[in-house]
Amino acid sequence: MTQQTPLYIRRPFLAGLIRQLPLLTVLVMVGVGLLVVTFEHWRSGIVIMGLTLIGAAVLRALLPVRRAGFLAVRSRPVDVALLAGTGVALTVIVHLIPYP
Asked, for residue 89, whether it belongs to a domain, the answer is yes
**Could you tell me the pLDDT band of residue 82, with boundaries at 50, 70 and 90?**
very high
The answer to whether position 42 is within a domain reads: yes
State the pTM of this model: 0.85
What one-letter code names the amino acid at 77?
A: P
Which pLDDT score, from 0 to 100, does residue 37 have?
96
Where in the sequence is the domain holding 55, given as residue range(s)? 21-96
Q: How many domains does the chain have?
A: 1
Q: What is the pLDDT of residue 33?
A: 97
Residue 78, burial from CB neighbour count under 10 angstroms (0-12, 13-18, 19+):
exposed
Q: How many CB atoms sit inside 10 A of residue 46's CB? A: 20
pLDDT of 76 over the 90 cut: yes
Is residue 99 over pLDDT 90? no
